[in-house]
Amino acid sequence: MDQYAVFGFPIEHSKSPLIHQQFAEQTQQSLSYKAVEVRPQVFDETLDDFFRLGGQGVNCTVPLKELAFRKVDTLTRRAEFSCAVNTIKKMPDGSLLGDNTDGVGLLTDLCENLGLNLKGKRLLVLGAGGATRGILQPLLEAAPATLYVANRTLSKAQAMVSLFEPIGRIDASSYEDLAGHRFDIIINATSASLSGELPPLATDLLAKNSVCYDLAYSQEATAFVLWGEQQGATLSVDGLGMLAEQAAHAFKLWRGVMPKTSNVRANLRG
Ligand code: ATR
């Protein structure tokens, strides 16, 4: 049986094994997928062992995506842009291909599941860390009218913007300087939600019919999802849909078949 795994630290709450088992059943593929706790210090040798013992593919999550980026032999274009790898595939010649399906997972959730069209829209991304870096390329390629990256540390937003300027119109901002702007879609890519916090957001940032999307997810509504609801967003959702979609794109890379995510998404929402 072909073997797959997700590596991370911590990993016990990972939903990936459940998601991939459901994809395997749905597409009638025979495979095993397990969660493995891997500390950064032993990432390289654990990965080598996994593939030496017959493993076919690995997902990497926090805090291993940058290590995976450095470890693989070749990169897809989107992994190169994001400087992070969340999916590794063992190729027929034994080499390791690194991909990043986070950005395409977000776009699939926004456009296909939620029915949004980003073309001509005013977008705001909160945060300028690894999560932001993973989503800017596909967001810009969807041709929004404007895309602002706001961050507490302005210099990090500016550095991020200079990396992605060649792809499309993108601006850096502090949170204070957002005042007076209105956005159709606000995406929270800060790690603030994980500790129940919110970036310092003004109260008049949402345009009519706006959408708030938190890359983070949790059992209860995240602080940012609640903020969006309080601000009158038409839709304010967390990143469970993106989680299912990035997994589906990883499954496609490994198995050559794109699973449907509707049941998986329903199950994740419990
Ligand atoms: P990740 O890989 O999850 O993006 P990261 O690279 O450490 O993690 O980046 C975390 C991001 O969340 C940063 O943009 C950080 O802002 P700073 O660069 O100013 O530190 C942002 N962040 C974390 N906690 C925050 C908070 N309470 N309010 C606003 N921004 C926050």
Say how far apart CA 18 and CA 246 lie, in whole Å.
Answer: 14
Q: Top-level CATH class of 2-100+242-269? A: alpha beta
pLDDT at 136: 97
- pLDDT score of 27 more than 90: yes
Ligand 1: which of 69, 85, 152 to mutate, judged by most atoms within 8 Å of the beta carbon? 152
pTM, 2 dp? 0.97
Give residue limits of the domains in the chain: 2-100+242-269, 103-238
**Centroid of ligand 1 to alpha carbon of 128 (angstroms):** 7
Atom of ligand 1 nearest to the CA of 152: 19
Contact residues for 24 (Cβ-Cβ < 8 A; gap 6+):
30, 31, 33
pLDDT at 193: 86
User: What would the two tokens of residue 147 be?
Assistant: 């895309």
Ligand 1: which of 190, 214, 222 to mutate, judged by most atoms within 8 Å of the beta carbon? 190
Q: DSSP H helical segments within the chain, as ranges?
A: 16-26, 43-52, 65-71, 77-82, 102-108, 130-133, 136-141, 154-164, 223-230, 240-255, 262-269
When pLDDT is averaged across residues 131-144 and rounded to a whole number, the result is 97
User: What would the two tokens of residue 213 be?
Assistant: 């999307």
pLDDT at 96: 98
156-189 residue pLDDT tens: 999 999 999 999 999 999 999 999 999 999 999 9
Contact residues for 197 (Cβ-Cβ < 8 A; gap 6+):
223
The answer to whether domain 2-100+242-269 and domain 103-238 are alike in fold is: yes
User: Running DSSP on this structure, what letter comes out for residue 175?
Assistant: S
Domain range 103-238, CATH architecture: 3-Layer(aba) Sandwich (3.40)
Taking CB atoms and a 6 Å cutoff, what residues make up the pocket around ligand 1?
Answer: 127-131, 151-153, 156, 190-192, 197, 199
**Centroid of ligand 1 to alpha carbon of 213 (angstroms):** 16
Is residue 65 flagged as an active site residue? Answer: yes
37-52 residue pLDDT tens: 999 999 999 999 999 9
Alpha carbon 128 to chain centroid distance? 14
